[in-house]
Amino acid sequence: MELNYVEYIGLAAGAITTSAYLPQVYKTWRSKAVDDISLAMYSALSLGVFLWLIYGVLLRAPAVIIANGASLLLVLWMLKMKLRYRKRAQAEKHDTYLH
């Protein structure tokens, strides 16, 4: 695989857009606060990024594959935190009401 300037532009764009997820992932991981995170949005985003990944694989486009592969991992991590920490918060609220 030979990289040309077009592929370098795609790799740079992918690195920038994928890195945009990092602050939210880090903040959520540290705070474990997920009330303001939209489950529907992250579910739709996961599906969309997955489809972009498949598209990149079918086209054999490294920039699309790398960017969307990394993005999918970060988006799925957010989804996992949303589901895990939401359950924890609900359990804590339930325990507070009981005492």
**Biggest alpha carbon distance in the chain?**
65
- Please check the confidence at residue 26 and state whether its pLDDT lies above 90: yes
- Spell out the domain ranges in the chain: 5-98
Q: How confident is the model at residue 72 (pLDDT cuts 50, 70, 90)?
A: very high
Of residues 93 and 32, the one with the higher pLDDT is 32
Q: How confident is the model at residue 3 (pLDDT cuts 50, 70, 90)?
A: confident
pLDDT of residue 4: 87
User: Structurally, what CATH architecture does the domain formed by 5-98 represent?
Assistant: Up-down Bundle (1.20)
Q: What angle do CA 33, 40, 92 make, to 5 degrees?
A: 30
